[in-house]
Amino acid sequence: MSIDVARVFIGFDTNEVVAYHVLAQSILEKSSMPVAFSPIVLDNLEGVFTRERNPLQSTQFSFSRFLVPALSNFEGWSLFMDCDMLMRTDIAELWALRDDRYAVQVVKHDYTPKIETKFLGQAQTKYEKKNWSSVILFNNARCRALTPDYVNTATGLQLHQFKWLDGDENIGELPREWNWLVNEYEYNAHAKNVHHTDGGPYFDEYKNDDYADEWFATRDRMLHVTQRHATA
């Protein structure tokens, strides 16, 4: 019997380590299917990811996310997620949306960021297809253009605007609830995956943002330990 396993790659940044673990916790505690996590850690990609950091990139995984198909041996499907997210429902619902007609599936945001500066003083860059690449379902066999050499040398816009595909008809659309942008969009009780794109609640400036209480509750559950007392 073949067991369906959701392969989830999460961007990892040493400036917000807690974000990775809380997102993973939020996925695990709601998932009805097996999940395999792969953090995208630059120190683990020595010799594979070699490009220099761009002053405009706000996270360490801005470009390394596009290695997901290669890290999956260009087989099956994989999901990439930014770390500053919180899953509010069963990831099996998202996994079930995979559609072989497309090379990738994303939420096709159409917005202009409200702020000029993000967390840690990072500039808020504005470009077409902004935040499309923060949640990506990769149909890996159809993403063979994303070799390590290409990912290391392509421009940021070539990568994030999916110019490595033959055309935008290869980009499928996911419902917006799977990448709900906190502060950019109004509070939505039905959002399935929320994205603290301006800055996560773990930064003081954003600790009172929408969904922050859910994030902190998830963090507390992630840290929970049941004390066991030895008996004589």
Q: Token pair of 3, please? A: 């067991």
For residue 166, what are the CA distances in angstroms to 90, 144, 161? 32, 12, 12
**Going from the N-terminus, what domains does the chain have, and what CATH number goes with each?**
6-219 (3.90.550.10)
Q: What angle do CA 200, 185, 17 make, to 5 degrees?
A: 15
Q: How far is CA 227 from the centre of its chain?
A: 33
User: What integer pLDDT is reported at residue 57 of this predicted model?
Assistant: 67
Q: What is the mean pLDDT of residues 10-27?
A: 96
- Count of residues making up the chain: 232
pLDDT tens digits, residue range 102-140?
Answer: 999 999 998 776 655 544 445 446 568 889 999 999 999
pLDDT tens digits, residue range 159-196?
Answer: 999 999 999 999 999 999 999 999 999 999 999 999 99
| Strand ranges, E, within the chain | 6-11, 35-40, 77-81, 85-87, 104-106, 135-139, 171-173, 180-181, 193-195
Residue pair 18/219 in contact by the 8 Å Cβ criterion: yes
